Amino acid sequence: MTPGTEAASRAELTATVTGLMSEIAGTGTDHLRGGYTRPVYSTAELDLREWFIEQATKRGLAVETDRNGAIWAWWNVPGGDRSNSLVTGSHLDSVPGGGAFDGPLGVASALIAVDILKARMDTPPRPLAVVVFPEEEGSRFGVACLGSRLMTGAIDPDKARNLRDPDGSTFADVAKAHGLDPRFVGKDDKLLGQIGAFVELHVEQGRGLIDLNQPIAIAESILGHGRWRLSVHGQGNHAGTTLMADRHDPVVAAARMVTGIRDIARNAANARATVGRLQPVPGGTNVIASRVDFWLDVRHPDDAVAAALVESIHTQARLIAAEEGCSVGLREESLSPTVHFDRGLQKELQLALPQAPVLDTGAGHDAGVLAPFVPTAMVFVRNPSGVSHSPEEHVVDEDAETGAQTLADALHGLMA
């Protein structure tokens, strides 16, 4: 490309994070729940992937989709060597009724950081890639960070292939329908070996930066967290003809279990336990359910304490089930130990961002899955609502631009 054409095409680029975010503001809006619903491989998420590919291509990046469905947009060094690459990026899928920023802010900021760096240098001294990981939220197939888990070998490919979405479709079938060969999903040593460092920018999902009155933080750790599915079995029956004394109602048992879970977590310092999804089967107003499935999310900085909490929850659930004439089973769906980010990378980021405080987070991220394999860091951008996984999640324009600038500076520092 001649310098003149490059200048012309640069002028056509959306030049701000806010501009990029506004381009996708209408994609995947959920009029029932509010906010955004963008599960992996839904029309909304596919539209966002297309948007990303278009934006990356406009920036002259070489776009490739790996065998696990992550999209990589490369700014190559002359000669194309990809060893010791710098990688940044995040995800485009969302929880049901989620906010606009969880995931997309990191992707949009990465693209703008590339623009900033391209204005500073013609070719990077180190290859740089922007990545979009699929199914970070686990909203469709139940396992959080499925794409990065597959790439790093943190999930058995057979287990992944057999995961089912709420409609009963397997991950293998859905992946195949979207151009992946399910036989080849799994650990990608070559790609993983090319990553010299991964830096993920993310909206902060709590109040840390509000309380410190700062726009940007560097992450120190992610709380260990896991997901379990509980299935409470009772006896399906008629709401009008079944006397109260004759019931084996799994909804009543599940309701008692949910308050019991809250009480167990309240009694353990720093614990978080959540039930955000319950499904009575068959689910009729005048039907006593035969089964209730519900999902438990438990987090704690000490992995042994998290395991003990889940054990107590299971024991209590069995007692409640017996009292209600029901039975209960518990199955682990995913588990992520507590992660402390790479100290060296954290220190380098602190040099580039001397004002930024260092914070822990209770939210999970692909960066946490990558951390045991490659030096990994995270940058958080202030969320003035302090609320996330909700339409109320927010980032003000000025902080969004500061975030991208900060990311560019951090990446620039790491290129030296």
The 10 Å Cβ neighbour count of residue 108 is 30
Residue-by-residue DSSP string for 312-349: HHHHHHHHHHHHTT-EEEEEEEEEE--EE--HHHHHHH
Work out whether 144 is an interface residue with ligand GLV (CB under 6 A): yes
Work out whether 96 is an interface residue with Mn ion (CB under 5 A): no
Of 364-393, binders to ligand GLV (CB under 6 A) are 364
Cβ-based burial of 280 (10 A; exposed 0-12, middle 13-18, buried ≥19): buried
135 binds, among ligand GLV, Mn ion, none (CB under 5 to 8 A by kind): none
103 binds, among Mn ion, ligand GLV, none (CB under 5 to 8 A by kind): Mn ion
**Amino acid type, 166:** P
- For Mn ion, the binding residue among 45, 66, 93, 102 (CB under 5 A) is 102
Q: Nearer to ligand GLV by C-beta: 254 or 363?
A: 363
Q: Nearer to Mn ion by C-beta: 277 or 314?
A: 277
Q: How far is the CB of 146 from ligand GLV (least distance, A)?
A: 12
Q: How far is the CB of 136 from Mn ion (least distance, A)?
A: 5
Give yes or no for a contact between 271 and 367, defined as CB atoms under 8 angstroms apart: no
Q: Nearer to ligand GLV by C-beta: 137 or 399?
A: 137
Give the x-and-dash track for 326-365 against ligand GLV (CB under 6 A): -------------------------------------xx-
144 binds, among Mn ion, ligand GLV, none (CB under 5 to 8 A by kind): ligand GLV
203 binds, among Mn ion, ligand GLV, none (CB under 5 to 8 A by kind): none
Q: Is the CA virtual torsion 147, 27, 140, 276 positive or negative?
A: positive
Alpha carbon 276 to its chain's center: 16
Question: What whole-number distance in Å separates Cα of residue 305 and Cα of residue 186?
Answer: 30
Question: What whole-number distance in Å separates Cα of residue 260 and Cα of residue 278?
Answer: 15
Contacts of 378 (CB under 8 A, 6+ apart): 199, 200, 201, 202, 218, 219, 341, 361, 365, 367
Work out whether 399 is an interface residue with Mn ion (CB under 5 A): no
Question: What whole-number distance in Å separates Cα of residue 139 and Cα of residue 96?
Answer: 7
364 binds, among Mn ion, ligand GLV, none (CB under 5 to 8 A by kind): ligand GLV
Work out whether 103 is an interface residue with Mn ion (CB under 5 A): yes
Size of residue set near ligand GLV by CB under 6 A: 4
**Amino acid type, 90:** S
Instruction: Take residue 93 and report the two structure tokens written for it.
Output: 């899928």
Work out whether 137 is an interface residue with ligand GLV (CB under 6 A): yes
Q: Nearer to ligand GLV by C-beta: 89 or 364?
A: 364
Query: By the criterion CB under 5 A, which residues form the site for Mn ion?
Result: 102-103
Query: By the criterion CB under 6 A, which residues form the site for ligand GLV?
Result: 137, 144, 363-364
